[in-house]
Chains A and B, each alone.
Chain A
Amino acid sequence: MTAICSSCGKLVTAGAPFCRSCGARQPDPLPEGVAPAEPRLLPLESEPPPSLPENSWIGVRRLLVLYALLLACSALFALLIATKAAPESELDAYITAASAALVTGFALHEWRLLWPFLDPRRIRLSGALKIAIGVVVTVAVLQGYFAGLAALDVPTIHSWPGFQEDGWPLWSALLLIAVAPGIFEELAFRGLIYQGLHRVMSKRDALLVQAMAFSVLHLSPWVFVSHFLMGLSLGLLRDTTRSLYPGMLAHFCWNAWIILGEAGLV
């Protein structure tokens, strides 16, 4: 049985009076049957399955395969654009469908891992103030960062003009660039990868690794910094609300805001 140190967040033996990593005194274990007010123990849903030590490598390997396939999707997209085999918006639709199918496949395979974060009854909205501050700070920093990039004359990727050229309606761009990433990137990174990593490392490390993976997968050096922050914020949002839905909504809103801005509607 393991628990999380209340001071440094590392794994400790449940019930041990001191942390073996930082030496901090641990809160007294609660008597049986009394629900802890603010549970510092691993929440039940993220408790690793008992058979974990034998197959932890298989779990990590599955995450590496998922990451490699998502990377291959991005690479394929860029290659197809370079060959000009089809209009960009059409390619975008294919690749989005392919990665959505990929993530859905992995998610169905690991539904046990994801379900606690998808069950609408388990959503927790008590940390409203924390969430509001987090959202405001993140949006402010990101806006500042992108304004800085624009001032430095760094070319950034615009998606809407391509759709417009090909005569695709605005709702299709919103579907492909805001709705689909909102759902599937959250499922993949804040769901499968974050939770899968948490099986083999501390929560803080898992949070950092999923944010890094999320940011480098965008394949653009300039968004590395901004998307790392975005990955951290969305990960913390998932932790605060114990659900993937608020993150999906936030992710959708951000992407939709960018597209509507490009379309000159905001």
Chain B
Amino acid sequence: MCPACNGAIVVGDKFCEKCGAKVTAEQEQVLRQRLEASSGDMAEHMKHVNGARSTIMVLAVMFLIGGVIMYFMAQSQAETALSNLRGLDGSMMFPEPVQGQTVTVAKLREMVEAEPRQLLVLNIFLSALMVGLWVWAKKSVLPAMLVALAVFATVHVASAMVDPKTLAQGVFIKIFATVALIRGVRAALAARKIETEQRSPA
């Protein structure tokens, strides 16, 4: 009940629909507790939704750590590749096509040197994107989870195309994160259904 006009308010409302009065944090807390007590399902759903939101943060940290590790791995690979190119003249054409293009050895050197940095920037970008989604999930959890799921799946498909071995790396974390996000989406939909029913008891 809204303290100002006795209109009905439900969990998630920030303002009373009848009189426009602001719903305070304490009122919100009371409503939430009452709802969770009245329906064990709701508490269960909220657990999954919050779990999915934390998963987005876990993914952000994973991209950051993974990015740093990959940076150092790529750098040592680049050094090996550069030492293989050492004997060659810069203006010479490299005999095999690189990414579908024929390039000079000097150009290839530049490409090899730039690769670890590009990888790092990409992973930091993905990490920042996940942090952004985590923040967005506070406001609208369902769209944020769907985007996180799409980005996560796409990144792994894309990196598997570059190097199929990456598919097997951290496979348990991948499955865990995917399951947590899908569960979160389901739980968010179910929680909203309960809320809708609460609003219109018919």
Contacts and interface: CB of A to CB of B under 8 A. Distances in A.
Interface in A61-117: 64, 67-68, 71-72, 74-75, 78-79, 82
Interface residues of B, number: 40
Interface string B133-174: 000000010110011011101110110110000000000000
B94 interface: no
A209 B150 CA distance: 9
A67 B14 contact: no
A57 B160 contact: no
Interface string A36-79: 00000000000000000110110010001001100110110011
Given A68-B153, A78-B161, A217-B154, A209 B15 contact: no
A209 B12 CA distance: 22
Interface in A211-266: 212-213, 216-217, 219, 221
Interface in B25-62: none
Contacts of A197: 143, 146
Interface stretch (A121-129, A166-174, A198-206): A198-206
B20 A17 contact: yes
Interface stretch (A19-27, A131-139, A140-148, A179-187): A19-27
A222 B125 CA distance: 11
Interface stretch (B64-72, B74-82, B84-92, B193-201): B193-201
Main secondary structure of the interface of A (DSSP, over half): helix
A21 B14 contact: yes
B99 interface: yes
Nearest to A224: B125
B125 A13 contact: no
A21 B189 CA distance: 18
Nearest to A214: B150
Given A53-B197, A216-B154, A16 B161 contact: no
B19 interface: yes
A28 to B, nearest CB: 14
Contacts of B197: 53
B117 to A, nearest CB: 13
Contacts of B12: 20
Given A19-B15, A56-B189, A201-B140, A13 B149 contact: no
B177 interface: no
B147 A212 contact: yes
Contacts of A82: 161
A71 to B, nearest CB: 6
A75 B161 contact: yes
Nearest to A25: B20
A18 B189 contact: no
B15 A18 contact: yes
B109 interface: no
Given A60-B185, A217-B154, A18 B146 contact: no
Considering the complex of A and B, which 9 residue pairs feature the smallest CB-CB distances, nearest first?
A23-B15, A18-B20, A16-B17, A20-B13, A205-B143, A216-B154, A53-B193, A78-B161, A209-B143
28 contacts: A12-B17, A13-B199, A17-B17, A17-B19, A18-B15, A20-B9, A21-B15, A23-B14, A56-B189, A56-B193, A57-B189, A64-B146, A64-B149, A67-B150, A68-B153, A71-B157, A75-B158, A155-B101, A201-B140, A205-B142, A205-B143, A209-B147, A209-B150, A212-B147, A212-B151, A213-B147, A216-B154, A219-B158
Interface of B: 9, 12-20, 22, 99, 101, 122, 125, 140, 142-143, 146-147, 149-151, 153-155, 157-158, 160-161, 182, 185-186, 189-190, 192-193, 196-197, 199
Given A18-B16, A56-B193, A219-B158, 9 more contacts: A18-B18, A18-B20, A64-B146, A71-B154, A82-B161, A208-B147, A212-B147, A217-B154, A221-B122
